[in-house]
C-alpha cells in the first residue's frame, strides 16, 4: 500500500478521537522556521462522539480557495450537539490550513496541492505531512468520508456530487445511499477503478485505499460564496448524517433527485486573451461547436479566436475568470451517465 505507511506521522493531535463528547483543537504539523524554531501549523479539528455508531470524516479546505464546504463544516461543528448524534464525526474545516488562510488552492508554504499529495509523506513538506496524517491516521478510523470542494478561483460548478461506482454490491449500495441523501442537482459518477488498489493522489484515493466509503462534492466556485449552494451543502450534510442513522432526530425534506453524468473531458483554450463564453452550465454542446471566443484587446485588429468543443454533451463546469491562456480549461463537458463508459476522476 502507501510507501510511507511504515513511517510514523510527526503530526500530533490535541484531540482524543476515542473520547466521548465534543473535542476541539488542532492537528500540530511541525514547521520549524526562522520566526518559530519549535513551531507548528495549526490544522483545526473537531470530533463529536456519542456512543456506538459509524465514524464519518468530513473534510473541507482541502483546497483553500473553496469556501462553501469550509463554512458548512464550521457551522456544523458549532451547532451539532453530541446528544443529537450517534457514532463519531470528525471535522476538518480547513484541511490544508496554510492554503485556506491564504485563500489559495495550494499552500503558500510549499506550493503543495493537498488533493494531489496523497498518500503523502510522514517526513515531507507540510502539505505532504497533512496528506499522510489524513491517509494513515484519520481514514483508518472512518467508515465514511465526505470531501467538500468547489471550482475554486478559476472554475464554477453547479452543486455536484462525485462518486465511484463501488467495488462491491455493498459499496455501490452505500455510495448510492449517500448520493440520494446529499440530493445535489448533479452527480458525476466516475467510471474508472477505485478500490483498495487505487493509485489516485486525492483524498478519495486515500479513502478507497482504506476501504472507506467516500463521496466528494463540487459546490460553486469562482472565488466566492453562493448562498443557495451553501444552503444545499448544509442541507445535504444533515441528510447524509440522517441517512447513516447518525442524526436520528432530523426529518429530511422531500428528495429532489440528482441527474447522473459522467465527464467526457475539458475544452481548452489554445490562445491567450479575454474569454467570452457562449455557453452556460447545463447547456447542450455539439461536437465541434464554437463554445467561446477569445478576444484580443491588445491587438484589436486581430480576429477573435474560436474555441470549439471536441465533445458533444452538456456543460458541467465553466471557467470563472475572464482572462485565459493556452492550456486553461474553459468548460468541462459531460454526458448522461452510462455504466459502460470509461473516463476517470478529476477535481
State the residues that interact with Zn ion by CB under 5 A: 63, 66, 149
Residue nearest to Zn ion (CB): 149
Q: How far, in Å, CA of 50 to CA of 315, rounded?
A: 43
| Residue 63 vs 319, nearer CB to Zn ion | 63
**Residue 241 Cβ vs Zn ion, minimum distance, rounded to whole Å:** 22
The grid cell for 122 is 510522514
The DSSP bridge pattern shows strands 144-149 and 213-221 to be parallel
Q: With respect to Zn ion, which residue has the nearer C-beta, 88 or 149?
A: 149
- Minimum Å gap between C-beta 149 and Zn ion is 3
Shortest gap between Cβ of 150 and Zn ion (angstroms)? 6
Could you tell me which of 234, 236, 300 has the C-alpha nearest to residue 273?
Answer: 300
265: region left, alpha or beta (phi > 0 left; psi from -120 to 50 alpha): left
* β-pair type (259-268, 273-277): unpaired
329-336 and 313-319 strand pairing: antiparallel
Q: Which is nearer to Zn ion, 87 or 222 (CB)?
A: 222
Q: Which is nearer to Zn ion, 66 or 135 (CB)?
A: 66
For residue 175, how many other CB atoms are within 10 A of its CB? 23
Closer to Zn ion by CB, 49 or 63: give it: 63
Strand partners, 313: 285
- Closest approach of Cβ 271 to Zn ion, in Å? 26
Residue 263 CB contacts under 8 Å (≥ 6 apart), including other chains:
188, 316, 332, 333, 334, 343, 346
Q: Shortest gap between Cβ of 219 and Zn ion (angstroms)? A: 10
Q: Cell 447518525 sits at which residue?
A: 246
The CA-based angle 79-152-226, given to 5 degrees, is 50
Task: Assign 3-state DSSP to the chain and report helix, strand, coil percentages, each to 5.
Answer: 25, 30, 45
Phi, psi of 220 (to 5 degrees): 80, -145
How near is the Cβ of 128 to Zn ion at its closest, in Å? 17
CA pair distance 51, 83, nearest whole angstrom:
10
What is the rounded CA–CA span in Å between residue 44 and residue 59? 11
| Least distance to Zn ion, CB of residue 260, Å | 21
Q: How far is the CB of 63 from Zn ion (least distance, A)?
A: 3
Is 216 or 241 the residue whose CB approaches Zn ion more closely? Answer: 216
Residue 63 or 279 with smaller CB distance to Zn ion: 63
Neighbours of 272 (CB within 10 A): 16
- If the CB atoms of residues 63 and 318 are measured against Zn ion, the closer one turns out to be 63
Amino acid at each position: 500500500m502507501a510507501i510511507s505507511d511504515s513511517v510514523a506521522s510527526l503530526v500530533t493531535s490535541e484531540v482524543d478521537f476515542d473520547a466521548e463528547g465534543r473535542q476541539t483543537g488542532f492537528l500540530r504539523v511541525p514547521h520549524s522556521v526562522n520566526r518559530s524554531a519549535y513551531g507548528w501549523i495549526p490544522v483545526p479539528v473537531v470530533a463529536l462522539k456519542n456512543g456506538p455508531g459509524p465514524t464519518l470524516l468530513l473534510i473541507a479546505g482541502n483546497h483553500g480557495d473553496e469556501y462553501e464546504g469550509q463554512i458548512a463544516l464550521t457551522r456544523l461543528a458549532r451547532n451539532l450537539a453530541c446528544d443529537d448524534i450517534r457514532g463519531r464525526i470528525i471535522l476538518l474545516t480547513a484541511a490544508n490550513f496554510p492554503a485556506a488562510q491564504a485563500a489559495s488552492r495550494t499552500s503558500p508554504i510549499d506550493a503543495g496541492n493537498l488533493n494531489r499529495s496523497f498518500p503523502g509523506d510522514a517526513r515531507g513538506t507540510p502539505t505532504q505531512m497533512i496528506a499522510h496524517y489524513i491517509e494513515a491516521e484519520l481514514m483508518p478510523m472512518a467508515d465514511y468520508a465526505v470531501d467538500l470542494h468547489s471550482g475554486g478561483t478559476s472554475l464554477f460548478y453547479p452543486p455536484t456530487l462525485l462518486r465511484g461506482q463501488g467495488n462491491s454490491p455493498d459499496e455501490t449500495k452505500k455510495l448510492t445511499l449517500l448520493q440520494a441523501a446529499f440530493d445535489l442537482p448533479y452527480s458525476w459518477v466516475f467510471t474508472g477503478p477505485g478500490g483498495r488498489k487505487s493509485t489516485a493522489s486525492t483524498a478519495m484515493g486515500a479513502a478507497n485505499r482504506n476501504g472507506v466509503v467516500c463521496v466528494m462534492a463540487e459546490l460553486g466556485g469562482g472565488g466566492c460564496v453562493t448562498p443557495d449552494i451553501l444552503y444545499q451543502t448544509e442541507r445535504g450534510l444533515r441528510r447524509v448524517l440522517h441517512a447513516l442513522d447518525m442524526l436520528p432526530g432530523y426529518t429530511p425534506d422531500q428528495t429532489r433527485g440528482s441527474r447522473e453524468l459522467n465527464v467526457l473531458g475539458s475544452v481548452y483554450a489554445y490562445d491567450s486573451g479575454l474569454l467570452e463564453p457562449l455557453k452556460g452550465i447545463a447547456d447542450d454542446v455539439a461536437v465541434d461547436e464554437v463554445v467561446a471566443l477569445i478576444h484580443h484587446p491588445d491587438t484589436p485588429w486581430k480576429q477573435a479566436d474560436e474555441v470549439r468543443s471536441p465533445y458533444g454533451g452538456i456543460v458541467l463546469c465553466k471557467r470563472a475568470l475572464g482572462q485565459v491562456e493556452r492550456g486553461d480549461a474553459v468548460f468541462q463537458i459531460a454526458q448522461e451517465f452510462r455504466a459502460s463508459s470509461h473516463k476517470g476522476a478529476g477535481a
